[in-house]
């Protein structure tokens, strides 16, 4: 089984988010980058599936050379080889087209992404790649099983879950529950240095959206503390002031 | 020109988020001086479809064939995209539900339309410029996105945009586009839905608890508080990791993102990854025994105290309030 895992290079979850160039660009100064946490889940699942079916795991990242430490981390977790499309990830349409173009020529049985990237949180890539390749997709999966060329996917729905089946190939966006994230060990980290990381040129695609500017969410007013012996007062504040009950 | 709104149903019923989507579509259509057309797929009764007119839809395209009774995102995307072309839609609006997430990017890709997920306000339209705000960096920033394609796809989060009745009515039209059989490559085997609880992403009030509760046996009071408020229950990640609560209740950066009118956090410290999933809540109440807990910094109201003392009192006070 040939598996492709899409890896996005994102700011560490605790990063302070600030902007430069009159709030038109994300300020990367001092920011630590990591493998998008959901992609770690996707990758861990891929490594397990490949081990069970003597398959292989390739990762793909659309990004410039600064994404390579993140890609090496993915190799350390257990991917066999990596591809980097040498271009800035300008929008989801651009990224999805790069991934689809690479996948088209390489016959993967399974393409895994994270359910969303924690920087732009758009949750668009899985379904877009599926559409561009004319194959099924599931955007928010909580469980994946693959047997005899057939995928059984547990999908999150409001207040429950849905189980669906589809023949491979399929694109699946993974969420919590699909696999326990693997932590790279020393052997993995050493081995990652010599694993192949191929850099390919991007295909020409016009992005369809552009981030014009950023703003910081409005600050919340300071907290109104209520004494623990006066919960009635909290109820009245919620009813009369906040008007939420 | 038109604005097309895809309306999701749950077992034939429209939820609150469906009417929010129509109202959003109506507001966009007003800006563009055009009409809003709704499209419903699956088996929905005439009187339910009619409700969409009350929120501003002038026409409802009703697609109901047997093979579409369960959600197949490829086929649904073909239908919505075909309808968008037929109706010369300049904007397509969908709810950012779990199904919406699987559908909207496919619709956008079919139409080569730029897409913005989770639009948090109405678009700013000025001649050829079309800009929409959405949250980025896990609610730590707001991005203004300019959509450059002729057609645009927007999704809106449940509870982010209030529905508004217009008192209008719609004509219902049966619509049966040709869908290739290759679009039916996924088969739904099973749907499990808790019917007795309120769905977390859509809830107006959320009662959430963390590791401060010590163990799963102490969730009785959380559930009772939720019941009194008509709220959904949620939890922090370590709580679901420990198996005290199901994963579907975990909110935060790696869990569900919610934006209820009221979020009550009990025994949760307020780690940045937790806040990422809840900070767009309109009102936040924190109950924590540690006055230094970071959660108080983003709270609107707080009680410094022991949850095991405060929560039962709060339940009593709310019962008294409801009784009046
Ligand atoms: C990549 C990554 C992603 C993550 N994603 C998420 C996520 O999506 N969601 C999430 O929640 N976390 C997430 N986390 C974990 C997060 O960093 C915190 O560890 C977690 O939110 C803490 O949970 P907690 O507040 O329940 O527990 P704790 O931090 O242990 O806090 C317990 C709180 O309860 C209070 N308390 C104790 N006893 C009482 C009592 N009797 N009465 C009242 N208060 C009491 C304490 O004062 C304390 O503030 C993530 C972490 C990482 C690294
Ligand atoms: N630049 C990128 N390169 C490779 N994969 C990406 C990139 N951006 C996003 N992805 C993948 O798409 C998923 C969803 O991202 P998004 O649609 O941006 O929320 C991520 O979890 C990744 O698996």
Chain B residue with minimum CA distance to A173: B102
Ligand 1 neighbour B279 (Cβ under 6 A)? no
Q: Which of B98, B134, B193 to mutate to test the interface with A (most CBs of A within 10 A)?
A: B98
Ligand 1 neighbour B238 (Cβ under 6 A)? yes
Instruction: Tell me how close the Cα of B183 comes to any Cα of chain A, in angstroms.
Output: 8
> DSSP letter string over B33-74?
T-EEEEEEES---HHHHHGGGGGTEEEEEEE--GGGSS--HH
Confidence of residue A6 (pLDDT cuts 50, 70, 90): very high
Percent helix, strand, coil in chain B, to 5, is: 35, 30, 35
CB-CB: which of A38, A212, A224 is closest to B301? A224
Q: Which ligand is nearest to the CA of B255?
A: 1
Give the pLDDT score at B229. 97
B23 touching chain A per CB within 8 A: no
**Centroid of ligand 2 to alpha carbon of B222 (angstroms):** 36
Residues facing A113 on adjacent strands? A173
**Centroid of ligand 2 to alpha carbon of B21 (angstroms):** 26
CA atoms within 13 A of residue A242's CA, in its CB half-sphere: 25
Burial class (CB in 10 A: 0-12, 13-18, 19+), A205: middle
> DSSP letter string over B197-243?
S--GGG-SEEEEE-GGG-SGGGGHHHHHHHHHHT-EEEE-HHHHHTT
Surface of A (141-160) touching B: CB under 8 A:
142, 152, 155-160
Closest protein CA for atom 49 of ligand 1: B269
Q: What percent of chain A has pLDDT over 90?
A: 93
Give the pLDDT score at B14. 96
Confidence of residue A223 (pLDDT cuts 50, 70, 90): very high
Closest protein CA for atom 8 of ligand 2: A8
Give the pLDDT score at B245. 95
Ligand 2 neighbour A117 (Cβ under 6 A)? yes
Give the pLDDT score at B248. 87
Token pair listed for A118: 């924690």
Ligand 1 neighbour B288 (Cβ under 6 A)? yes
**Centroid of ligand 2 to alpha carbon of B316 (angstroms):** 47
Q: Which ligand is nearest to the CA of B309?
A: 1
Token pair listed for A125: 């890539």
A91 touching chain B per CB within 8 A: yes
| Contact check, Cβ <8 Å, A128/B106 | yes
Find, among B84, B19, B79, the residue nearest to B48 by Cα: B19
Confidence of residue A220 (pLDDT cuts 50, 70, 90): confident
Q: What is the pairing mode between strands B301-304 and B283-288?
A: parallel
B145-168 confidence digits (pLDDT tens): 999 999 999 999 998 899 999 999
Q: What is the mean pLDDT of residues A148-172?
A: 95
Q: Is the separation of the CB atoms in B151 and B89 below 8 Å?
A: yes
* Chain A residues closer than 8 Å to B294 by CB: none
* Chain B residues closer than 8 Å to A211 by CB: 136, 143-146
Give the pLDDT score at A81. 98
| d(C-alpha B295, C-alpha B305), whole Å | 14
| Contact check, Cβ <8 Å, A118/B283 | no
Confidence of residue B43 (pLDDT cuts 50, 70, 90): very high
Q: What is the mean pLDDT of residues B7-18?
A: 95
Q: What is the mean pLDDT of residues B66-70?
A: 90
Find, among A123, A129, A127, A88, the residue nearest to A108 by Cα: A129
Ligand 1 neighbour B237 (Cβ under 6 A)? yes
B249-283 confidence digits (pLDDT tens): 999 988 889 999 999 999 999 999 999 999 999 99
A73-104 confidence digits (pLDDT tens): 999 999 999 999 999 999 999 999 999 999 99
Q: What is the mean pLDDT of residues B107-132?
A: 96
Is the pLDDT at A58 greater than 90, yes or no?
yes
Instruction: Tell me how close the Cα of A194 comes to any Cα of chain B, in angstroms.
Output: 32
A166 touching chain B per CB within 8 A: yes
* Chain A residues closer than 8 Å to B138 by CB: 13, 118, 121
| Contact check, Cβ <8 Å, A159/B200 | yes
Give the pLDDT score at B118. 95
* Chain B residues closer than 8 Å to A140 by CB: 98, 101-102
Ligand 2 neighbour A67 (Cβ under 6 A)? no
Reduced to 3 states (helix: H, G, I; strand: E, B; else coil), residue B124 is strand
Ligand 2 neighbour A112 (Cβ under 6 A)? no
Q: Which ligand is nearest to the CA of B258?
A: 1
| Contact check, Cβ <8 Å, B254/A176 | yes
């Amino acid at each position: 089984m040939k598996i492709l895992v899409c890896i996005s290079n994102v700011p560490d979850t605790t990063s302070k988010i600030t902007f430069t160039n009159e709030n038109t660009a994300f300020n990367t100064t001092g920011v630590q980058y990591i493998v998008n946490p959901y992609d770690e889940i996707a990758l861990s699942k891929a490594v397990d599936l490949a081990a069970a079916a003597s398959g292989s795991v390739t990762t793909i990242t659309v990004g410039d050379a600064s994404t390579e430490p993140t890609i090496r981390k993915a190799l350390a977790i257990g991917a066999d080889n990596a591809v980097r499309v040498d271009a800035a990830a300008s929008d989801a349409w651009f990224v999805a087209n790069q991934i689809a173009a690479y996948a088209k020529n390489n016959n993967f049985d399974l393409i895994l992404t994270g359910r969303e990237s924690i920087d732009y949180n758009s949750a668009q890539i899985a379904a877009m790649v599926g559409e561009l390749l004319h194959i099924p997709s599931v955007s928010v999966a909580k469980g994946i099983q693959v047997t005899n060329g057939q995928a059984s996917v547990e999908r999150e729905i409001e207040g429950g879950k849905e189980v669906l089946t589809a023949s491979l190939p399929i694109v699946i966006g993974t969420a919590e529950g699909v696999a326990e994230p693997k932590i790279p060990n020393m052997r993995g980290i050493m081995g990652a240095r010599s694993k192949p990381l191929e850099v390919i040129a991007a295909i020409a695609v016009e992005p369809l959206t552009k981030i014009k500017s950023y703003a910081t969410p409005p600050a919340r007013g300071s907290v109104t503390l209520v004494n623990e012996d006066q919960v009635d007062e909290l109820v009245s504040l919620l009813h009369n002031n906040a008007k939420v009950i | 020109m038109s604005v097309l709104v895809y309306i999701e149903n749950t077992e034939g019923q429209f939820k609150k988020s469906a009417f929010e989507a129509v109202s959003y579509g109506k507001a966009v259509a007003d800006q563009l001086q055009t009409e809003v057309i709704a499209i419903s797929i699956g088996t929905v009764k005439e009187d339910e479809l009619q409700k969409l007119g009350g929120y501003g839809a002038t026409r409802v395209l009703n697609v109901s064939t047997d093979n579409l009774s369960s959600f197949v995102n490829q086929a649904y995307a073909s239908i919505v995209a075909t309808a968008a072309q037929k109706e010369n839609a300049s904007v397509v609006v969908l709810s950012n539900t779990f199904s919406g997430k699987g559908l909207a990017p496919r619709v956008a890709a079919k139409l080569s339309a730029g897409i913005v997920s989770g639009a948090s306000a109405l678009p700013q339209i000025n001649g050829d410029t079309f800009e929409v705000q959405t949250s980025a960096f896990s609610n730590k920033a707001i991005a203004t996105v300019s959509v450059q394609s002729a057609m645009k796809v927007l999704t809106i989060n449940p509870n982010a945009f209030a529905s508004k009745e217009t008192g209008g009515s719609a004509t219902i039209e049966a619509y049966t586009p040709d869908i290739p059989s290759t679009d039916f490559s996924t088969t739904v085997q099973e749907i499990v839905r808790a019917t007795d609880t309120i769905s977390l992403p859509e809830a107006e009030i959320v009662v959430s608890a963390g590791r401060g509760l010590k163990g799963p046996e102490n969730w009785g009071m959380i559930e009772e508080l939720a019941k009194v408020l008509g709220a959904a229950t949620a939890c922090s990640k370590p709580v679901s990791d420990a198996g005290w609560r199901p994963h579907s209740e975990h909110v935060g950066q790696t869990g569900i993102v919610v934006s209820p009118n009221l979020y009550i956090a009990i025994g949760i410290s307020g780690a940045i990854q937790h806040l990422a999933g809840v900070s767009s809540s309109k009102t936040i109440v924190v109950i924590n025994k540690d006055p230094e807990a970071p959660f108080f910094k983003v709270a609107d109201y707080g009680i410094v105290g022991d949850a095991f003392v405060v929560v039962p009192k709060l339940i009593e006070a709310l019962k008294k309030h409801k009784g009046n």
